[in-house]
Amino acid sequence: MHVAIDQLSDGARERVRKHSKMLFGNQDTLLVAVAVARSSTGSVNATEIGWQVRLQANRVRAQLIAFVELGYMEDGQMRDRTRWFVRRGSGFWAMCEQIFSEAAGESR
């Protein structure tokens, strides 16, 4: 069982953000990727993920758009004035889960 992103201690959250910055060049990428990976439906929007990871929707949206550009997600349809993104199958998501677990101290 893994720790919920919104239940990370401040120290664990900072370790995750540091790993993200060093690996991806952005401190938000890893948190957003793990939230997407853990989505039961694979269909997400920036506001929903923002609540989970405690980030502003515009910062989350930037990561989701980057995932689309890299081919890890599809830019879904607008529904109820909300832009949805759909996760594609890829080893990227499992890799992010593993890095997150290590950075958060879950597998130390």
CATH number for 68: 1.10.10.10
pLDDT score, position 17: 94
Contacts 24+ apart (CB under 8 A), 48-51: none
Q: Which of 39, 22, 48 is nearest to 73 (CA)?
A: 39
Q: Count up the domains in the chain and report the number.
A: 1
Strand partners, 74: 86
Strand partners, 83: 78
Residue 68, both tokens:
């689309």
Range of the domain at 18: 5-104
Tell me the per-residue pLDDT of 35-53, one tens digit each, with 9 for 90 and over: 999 999 999 999 999 999 9
Q: Which of 25, 22, 21, 20 is nearest to 35 (CA)?
A: 20
Q: What is the model's pTM?
A: 0.89
Tell me the per-residue pLDDT of 2-22, one tens digit each, with 9 for 90 and over: 778 888 888 889 999 999 999
